[in-house]
Amino acid sequence: MKFTFSWLKDHLDTEASLDEVCEALTMLGLEVDGVEDRARDLAAFTTARVLSAEPHPQADRLRVCLVDTGAEEVQVVCGAPNARTGMMGVFAPSGSWIPGTDLRLKKTTIRGVESNGMLLSERELGVSDEHEGIVELPADTPLGAPYARIAGLDDPVIEIGLTPNRGDCAGIRGIARDLAARGLGALKGVPGWGETVPGAFESPVAVRLELGDRPEACPLFAGRYVRGVSNGPSPKWVQDRLRAVGLRPISALVDITNYFTLDMGRPLHVFDADRLEGDVVVRMGRDGEEIAALDGRSYTADADMTLICDEAKGNAFGGIMGGEATGCTEDTVNVFLESALFDPLRTAATGRRIGVQSDARYRFERGVDPTSAVAGMEAATRMILDFCGGEASLPVVAGGEPDWRRRYRFRPERVEGLGGVAVPAARSVEILRALGFGVEDGAMSVAPPPWRPDILGEADLVEEVLRVHGFEHIPVADFPAPAVLPAPALTRAAAHAAKLRRALAAAGMAEAVTFSFMPAGHAALFGGGDALLRLDNPISTDLDCMRPSILPNLLDAARRNADGGRAAGALFEVGPVFRPEAAAIEPEGQLQAAGGVRWGATPRHWSQRPRPVDALDAKADALTALKALEAPVDKLRVTADAPAWFHPGRSGALRLGAVPLAWFGELHPRVLEAFDAAGPLAAFEAFPDAVPVPRAKAGGKLRPALSRSAFQPVERDFAFVVAEEIEADSVLRAVRNADKALIADATVFDVYRGKGIEQGRKSLAVAVTLQPQDATLTDADLEAASARIVAAVAKATGAVLRG
């Protein structure tokens, strides 16, 4: 909503400065989005007379002008074709900033002739795109006067952002009322508002509301027929004001409708009565009905839209935009004025559907004062007669004013109860009355004015008092925690996420945050794509399905990074994944997951040879994640049955019993191909929600006593030759189970294939740590333990000791 300072002063008798008004507006909830003070930008420019304009001795297209600025005579070199002796123009002295070019003017020499300033075009002044020549002012323009004042550009333009509840402030009247209530001046009367204009004859155009069971679509239509008008340009002061707020003056009749729209928040429309066929009919649209609107475009109506029609066809969208065929032109002689009420919701819905934003819609969808329909019709009729002459008919009114009167209980102490600031009851009443509310003395029952449909209860009244009184006057109250030491804030899921993030980042991966949706094709490759999880209205087909897994997004990101030359890297994300149950808002449908990818090779370095990332890197990451969640990692089984998007021979699952806690491995080549990604690439995905809640222990947080053996541990190495398909884990398990009390640890330190080992077999070198508890191990103990280990492994895996 834009308006000028002087226009505001039509309604508000005030001595307040522009800055004071802007500050008050913002603190009233009418946030100032911008102030355009042209007088400030144009302050350096004054009117000046060209005393002489001689050809430049060195350049055909330039002139050397002697300019009288009123204060002095200066020489200016000018390239404008219209620079000539005797003309009045706009002078910019050296050192001034030129808005149109964003340059600071310097004293200069052009082809040997000194130039001490500039004569400006409208484009250079920043007031229009006109650059054919320099500005020419009327010969009787005073010399040395500020250009901004001469051009009527010294009226600051204020733009406020209106919240959707404040339809009343879509008119300058409402803004002035708020400012007056806040003490920035006195609200003036509006000349002519509320007066009636006598009519001389019965309107030849009648209005019929044919809305069937939807009378609320247009409850009231007030009109006038004015015959014999002459539709020339509107007076300059109207044009100046419209132009200042960004509207193009068109003709007196159209400008009048725009003027009331801005001034009183009262949208109007004018029909060329001679172009109407019969009466005006307000009815719902017909599906597929084409409406040729004022903007020269055609729109398709439907049965939910309110149309203004004549007997022949639909002409206009009620409350949004008039029709092309019935609009007023310079030739209009007989005009029919419309001042109606339209349903806010229907107006908003229609505007959205046809994609039209207009000044009328802006107001009707916020709610227009129902009492302004007749008053606006009367005041506009008066203005038409004043500007265009003619003769007015008797008023035409169809429907009636909807009942807007209501009352709410108001307890003045609620201002302090909710607002935290003591406002005397009398002050609250004063504020409400200044805003137009009816307050009965004593009985605390308050009636909102017709222009405030947004007021719907006591809390709204409290807000009115508080915002006028000033939020800045609410004392700041301490809000300490209920206990001196607050309890930990995180839920289990949040604590999981926090631990996962820091653990995976510590493992060298960079955290990414990617969208919760992805292309359905990607989702389908990772077990998703269910119809229940498709978006009905995606922004694009790239974002049309809720993700079943984090990996597709990370895979895509890895591919983009690799394409950008980052040939190796690691990314992870902790976030939601979705199962079809999520569409029924079932908690088990929305899980938290942690996913990660590594791609490329380990770095080239003097100390180690690079190697491509592989499934075991992903396994390490999965274990890092599960350890961070305090999952019982030593009880996990590793199974080679990861889902189909993994490489079947290079992937696995980490399971607690049958429940998978994580997948890991290299991705299936077909999946990589679908993402246009190249290996090596390894990924994991872990599921924190599947990690069991640790059983509460009797001792609470107490740790069991530490048991440290007094005897030396002994390390023994074994080389087992096994068939190629025997998994390392089965060998290690057999080792550990050979003597659970004695064997503290077992790990594989070498895997060998080749010379000395039969084809189809491999040698696993296993280091076993034996930890005696009761006595130092004798040679005989060691021999016995070794024999048990060898026997156990042989039994479990068919291994033989390497000779």
Partner 1 sequence: MSDELTALRDELEGAVQAADSLEALEDVRVRALGRRGAVTGLMKSLGRSAPEERRERGQALNLLKQAVSDAIDARRAALAEAELERRLASERIDVTLPVRPAPEGSLHPISQTIDEVTQIFGEMGFRWAEGPDIEDDWHNFTALNIPPEHPARQEMDTFYLAGEAGSRPVLRTHTSPVQIRTMQAAPPPLRVIVPGRTYRSDHDATHSPMFHQVEGLAIGKAIHMGHLKGCLIEFCRAFFGVADLPVRFRPSHFPFTEPSAEVDIGCTREGGQLRIGAGGDWLEILGSGMVHPKVIANCGLDPEEWQGFAFGMGIERIAMLKYGIPDLRTMFDSDLRWLRHYGFPPLDIPGLIAEAAE
Among positions 346-365, residues that touch partner 1 (CB under 8 A) are: 348-349, 352
Q: Which DSSP string corresponds to 734-766?
A: HHHHH-TTTEEEEEEEEEE-STTS-TTEEEEEE
3-state secondary structure at position 159 = strand
Min dist CB 444 to partner 1, Å, is 16
3-state SS assignment for residue 605: strand
Contact between 457 and partner 1 per CB under 8 A: yes
Using a 10 angstrom Cβ sphere, with 0-12 exposed, 13-18 middle and 19 or more buried, the burial of residue 758 is: exposed
Least separation in angstroms between residue 428's CB and partner 1 is 14
CB of 782 to partner 1, least distance (A): 36
The one among 134, 509, 625, 636 contacting partner 1 by CB under 8 A: 509
* Residues in Cβ contact with 20 at an 8 Å cutoff, skipping those fewer than 6 apart: 184
Query: 315 near 279, Cβ under 8 Å?
Result: no
| Contacting residue, 589, 612, 643, 680, with partner 1 by CB under 8 A | 589
Please report how close the Cβ of residue 430 comes to partner 1 at its closest, in angstroms. 18
Task: Show contacts with partner 1 in window 763-792 (CB under 8 A).
Answer: none
Q: Say how many residues touch partner 1, by CB under 8 A.
A: 105
Interface of this chain with partner 1, residues 316 to 345, rule: CB under 8 A: 345
Distance CA 290, CA 312 (A): 13
Stretch that binds partner 1, among 310-318, 378-386, 435-443, 460-468 (CB under 8 A): 460-468
Out of 578, 646, 684, 718, the only residue in the binding site for partner 1 (CB under 8 A) is 578
Closest approach, Cβ 561 to partner 1, in A, equals: 5
- Which of 51, 312, 459, 640: binder of partner 1 (CB under 8 A)? 459
Residues between 96 and 155 that touch partner 1 (CB under 8 A): none
Binding mask 512-531 for partner 1 (x = CB under 8 A): xxxxxx-------------x
Nearer to partner 1, 49 or 547 (CB): 547
Compare residues 564 and 699 and give the one whose CB is closer to partner 1: 564
Return the residue of 217, 254, 554, 636 that touches partner 1, per CB under 8 A.
Answer: 554
Q: Minimum distance between the CB of residue 556 and partner 1, rounded to whole angstroms?
A: 8
Concatenating the DSSP letter of every residue in 557-585 gives HHHHHHHTT--SEEEEEEEEEE-GGGGGT
Count of other CB atoms within 10 angstroms of residue 365: 25
Our CB check for partner 1 shows the closer of 253 and 518 to be 518
Q: Are 13 and 186 in contact (CB under 8 A)?
A: yes
Q: Is 19 in the site for partner 1 (CB under 8 A)?
A: no
Per rule CB under 8 A, is residue 793 in the interface with partner 1? no
Q: Which stretch in 78-86, 119-127, 452-460, 689-697 sits in contact with partner 1 by CB under 8 A? A: 452-460
How many CB atoms are located within 10 Å of the residue 239 CB? 18
Q: Closer CB to partner 1, residue 263 or residue 621?
A: 621
When asked if residue 693 is in the footprint of partner 1 (CB under 8 A), the reply is no
Q: Which of 138, 189, 288, 482 binds partner 1 (CB under 8 A)?
A: 482
- Interface of this chain with partner 1, residues 390 to 419, rule: CB under 8 A: 416-419
Q: What is the DSSP string of 352-397?
A: HHHT---HHHHHHTT---TTHHHHHHHHHHHHHHHHH--EE---EE
Terminal alpha carbon distance of the chain: 92
Q: Quote the least distance from Cβ 571 to partner 1, whole Å.
A: 6
Helices 372-388 and 252-264, axial angle in degrees (round to 10):
140
* Cβ 3 to partner 1 shortest distance, Å: 19
The secondary structure of residue 205, as a DSSP letter, is S
Stretch of residues binding partner 1 (CB under 8 A), selected from 247-255, 572-580, 637-645, 782-790:
572-580
What is the contact mask toward partner 1 in residues 33 to 62, using x (rule: CB under 8 A)? Answer: ------------------------------
Whole-angstrom distance, CA of residue 718 vs CA of residue 799:
11
Of the candidate residues 303, 506, 659, 751, the single one contacting partner 1 (CB under 8 A): 506
| Cis bond before residue 680 (omega within 30° of 0) | yes
Shortest CB 244 distance to partner 1, Å? 26
Q: Which is nearer to partner 1, 68 or 581 (CB)?
A: 581
Q: Are 264 and 400 in contact (CB under 8 A)?
A: no
Binder among 212, 288, 296, 488 for partner 1 (CB under 8 A): 488
Amino acid making up residue 361: R
User: Which residue type sits at 410?
Assistant: F
Closest distance to partner 1 from the beta carbon of 1 (Å): 14
Tokens of 177: 């009322």
CA distance linking residue 631 with residue 625, whole number of Å: 9
Q: Which is nearer to partner 1, 314 or 595 (CB)?
A: 595
Structure tokens at 463: 């807000």
Compute the least distance from the CB of residue 490 to partner 1, in Å. 5
Dist CA 44 CA 399 (whole Å): 57
Among 164, 246, 400, 756, binds partner 1 (CB under 8 A): 164
Kindly indicate which of the ranges 13-21, 74-82, 538-546, 654-662 contains the residues binding partner 1, using the contact rule CB under 8 A. Answer: 538-546
> Which residues in the 239-298 window bind partner 1 by CB under 8 A?
none
Contact residues for 541 (Cβ-Cβ < 8 A; gap 6+): 519, 520
- Closest approach, Cβ 168 to partner 1, in A, equals 13
Closest by CA to 255, choosing from 238, 243, 272, is: 238
User: For residue 215, which of 406, 402, 474 has the smallest C-alpha distance?
Assistant: 402
Amino acid, single-letter form, for residue 417: G
C-beta closer to partner 1: residue 302 or 458:
458
217 binds partner 1 (CB under 8 A): no
335 with 229: CB under 8 angstroms? yes
Pick the closer one to partner 1 by CB: 490 or 787: 490
Does position 564 interact with partner 1 (CB under 8 A)? The reply is yes
Nearer to partner 1, 489 or 702 (CB): 489
- Interface residue with partner 1 among 71, 103, 200, 493 (CB under 8 A) is 493
Backbone angles phi, psi at 150, to 5 degrees: -60, -40
Give the residue with the Cβ less far from partner 1, 581 or 727: 581
| Coil/strand/helix, residue 769 | strand
Backbone angles phi, psi at 124, to 5 degrees: -65, -30
Least separation in angstroms between residue 240's CB and partner 1 is 31
Q: How far apart are CA 444 and CA 409, in angstroms?
A: 6
Task: Give dist(CA 545, CA 682) in Å, integer.
Answer: 24
Please state, in angstroms and rounded to a whole number, the distance separating the CA atoms of residues 752 and 759: 12
Pure H helices in 435-532: 458-469, 492-506, 520-525
Beta carbon nearer to partner 1, 269 or 346? 346
Does position 625 interact with partner 1 (CB under 8 A)? The reply is no
Single out the residue of 10, 31, 68, 240 in contact with partner 1 (rule: CB under 8 A). 31
Pair of tokens at residue 737: 């189970």
Pairing of strands 280-284, 207-210: parallel
Residue (431 or 746) nearer to partner 1, CB: 431
* Nearer residue to partner 1 within complex by CB, 51 or 532: 532
**CB-nearer residue toward partner 1: 427 or 761:** 427
SS3 463: helix
Q: Which of 483, 658, 702, 705 binds partner 1 (CB under 8 A)?
A: 483
Residue 762 and residue 387: Cα distance in Å, rounded? 104
Among 51, 303, 443, 505, binds partner 1 (CB under 8 A): 505
Measured CA to CA, the distance from residue 302 to residue 288 in angstroms comes to 6
Residues 414-433 that bind partner 1 (CB under 8 A): 416-421
DSSP state, 323?
A: B
